Amino acid sequence: MFSRYKKNTTATPKVTTLPPKGAAPAAAPAHPPAQAAPAEPPKPVSLRRPTKAQPATAAPMDKEAKRRERIGELKLELHRELLDSLNLAALENATESDLRAEINAITDEVLSQKNVVLNRDDRSTLNKELFDEVKGLGPLETLLQDETVNDILVNGPKQIFVERAGKLQLTNVTFKDEKHLMRIIDKIVSAVGRRVDESNPYVDARLQDGSRFNAMVPPIAVDGSLVSIRKFKKDKLGIDDLVAFGAFSEEMAAYLQAAVSTRLNVIVSGGTGSGKTTTLNALSSFIADDERILTIEDTAELQLQQTHVGRMESRPPNVEGKGEVSPRDCLKNALRMRPDRIIVGETRGEEVIDMLQAMNTGHDGSMTTIHANNPRDGISRLENMVAMAGIEMPLKAVRSQISSAVNLLVQASRLQDGSRRMTSITEITGMEGDVISMQEIFRFQRVGLTPDNKIIGHFTATGVRSHFSERFRLWGYDLPTSLFEPVAAE
Ligand SMILES: Nc1ncnc2c1ncn2[C@@H]1O[C@H](COP(=O)(O)OP(=O)(O)OP(=O)(O)O)[C@@H](O)[C@H]1O
Ligand SMILES: [Mg+2]
């Protein structure tokens, strides 16, 4: 088919076959051959770069794939054998080494029965996979144990992606089939007393290690179950790590320390997976140890370092639609629990009302995250949430409530090269007429791209003096004026 943008791959008609200009037409055949057609007008040059169609395929070569398949079949058979010969009740209490020994013995027996010889590596892989199957989460186990993996994303049994350093990669890990995948999903959700099936096709849960888990099963998931896991990091990235990674600058860290210590209300805004929770967690390290902190989350992810922390996890309704404890319920209750600070993992619904009220009425120093792509959007998002919570309030009143509740918006972003950075720190300074006035204090200034598409840029102050300078000074955080001076581009 002819496409204006398609690359011209067919040979261009040879100019020599055309009659010379002005020459009398030769006795042309009744049906001239196609190549003798008059020259096409030159094709417009595409302004776009050619896009490389890069099918996401895993690396394994044919031979390797076959080998894996053979081991997969063996594993299945061995697994069946194992389930027959193991006493599942005793399994619960078996020590890891006992179970491994048992598995080794059964593998040896079956392999010799079948006259199959495996090399030492294949054999230990097989034993490990069997162990993971019986005790852990099957094929996912290796990825869960891989420290470099942040997210695990399963699109049906044969396609598992991981996120490493902000980039998605297809792995060669697969499930045998949808049934196998469902078995693992069931194992996870039944461990937390939940169920997932056709009538209840999606579920949130927390894995034993604290990782956040979400699954959606067919028929809603069309090509097989969809699973997303946000791995739990035992050692959450702290302020120093984030500064070292280039997520923000030392100057920004000093400013944020003053902001959190002097109890400004902070909202971390950002897209999905942009590092909001990580930033919130890092910011919380600036809270003094003698404060009573209450945290409210859908899935407990925050790891606060302070001594006096009360953690709450909201609960969705059960199969009969009962038993829900919404974030708003938790928040209302938290206000009766004498908190010094309230941290809400993510504000996405009607709890926004109580959050704003809490921030306005004595629980300053509270923090939360919202989904938004820039600080201005963040404010609109808050306004929309208030409107959707069914509160009949004039827009100006909503805005004035927001402007007096929120002091600081911290923008987290995942940039196109996979790096996560704090791209803006913006203060809310009040209202000007009907509009909330804001001033950006720090930002990430992009300069360009390296040949391998890494972003070049630097953090800089905008030169605007902080609205809270006086407050910082009174609380003993005398930030030098040089902190707020813009950094010249190198
Ligand atoms: N600056 C950073 N450098 C490297 N990795 C980071 C950085 N910030 C966050 N991460 C990693 O990125 C992943 C996502 O971070 P996080 O959970 O904080 O994102 P989020 O915005 O809260 O995501 P979600 O929208 O799903 O709640 C985590 O595994 C985290 O460890
Ligand atoms: Mg989060």
Which residue among 149, 214, 272, 278 has the greatest number of ligand 1 atoms within 8 angstroms of its CB, and so is best to mutate? 278
Measured distance between the N- and C-terminal CA atoms of the chain, rounded to whole angstroms: 50
Query: Residue 172 carries which DSSP code?
Result: S
Specify the residue with its C-alpha closest to ligand 1, atom 28. 150
Q: What is the pLDDT of residues 307-335, one digit of tens each?
A: 999 999 998 887 777 889 999 999 999 99
Looking at residue 164, its pLDDT comes to 92
**Per-residue pLDDT reduced to its tens digit, 214-242:** 999 999 999 999 999 999 888 888 999 99
Lowest mean pLDDT among 82-91, 252-261, 449-458: 82-91
> 3-state class of 294 per DSSP?
strand
Mean pLDDT of 160-174: 92
Q: Residue 269 and residue 349: Cα distance in Å, rounded?
A: 15
Kindly report, residue by residue over 397-430, the tens digit of the pLDDT. 999 999 999 999 999 999 999 999 999 999 999 9
- Evaluate whether 227 touches 152 at the Cβ level (below 8 Å): yes
pLDDT at residue 208, as a whole number: 86
Nearest CA residue ID for atom 8, ligand 1: 275
pLDDT at 53: 65
Tokens representing 117?
């010889």
Give the residue among 415, 110, 155 at the shortest CA–CA distance from 275: 415
Maximum C-alpha span of the chain: 102
Note the ligand closest to the C-alpha atom of 228.
1
Q: Tell me which residue has its CA closest to atom 29 in ligand 1.
A: 150
**pLDDT score for 92:** 62
How long a stretch of residues is the chain?
490
Task: Give the closest ligand to the alpha carbon of residue 237.
Answer: 1
pLDDT above 70 as % of the chain:
87
Q: What's the CA gap between 125 and 128, in Å, rounded?
A: 5
In this predicted structure, what is the pLDDT of residue 35?
52
Average pLDDT over residues 123-129: 84
233 lines ligand 1 (CB under 6 A): yes
Q: Kindly report whether the peptide bond that precedes residue 219 is cis, defined as omega within 30 degrees of 0.
A: yes
State how far the Cα of 112 lies from the Cα of 402, in Å rounded to an integer: 71
Q: Tell me what pLDDT residue 40 has.
A: 73
Comparing 4-8, 50-54, 118-122, 390-394, the range with the smallest average pLDDT is: 4-8
User: What pLDDT does 29 receive?
Assistant: 47
Residue 44 CA, chain-centre distance (Å), reads 41
Ligand nearest to the CA of 272: 1
Query: 259 and 426 in contact (C-beta within 8 Å)?
Result: no
Question: What is the C-alpha separation between 59 and 295, in angstroms, rounded?
Answer: 43
pLDDT of residue 36: 52
In the reported structure, the alpha carbon of residue 274 is separated from the centroid of ligand 2 by a whole-number distance in angstroms of 8
Is 242 close to ligand 1, i.e. is its CB under 6 Å away?
yes
Mean pLDDT of 248-269: 96
Is 270 a pocket residue for ligand 1 (Cβ < 6 Å)?
A: yes
If you take atom 24 of ligand 1, which residue's CA is the nearest one? 273
Residue 277 in contact with ligand 1 by CB distance below 6 A: yes
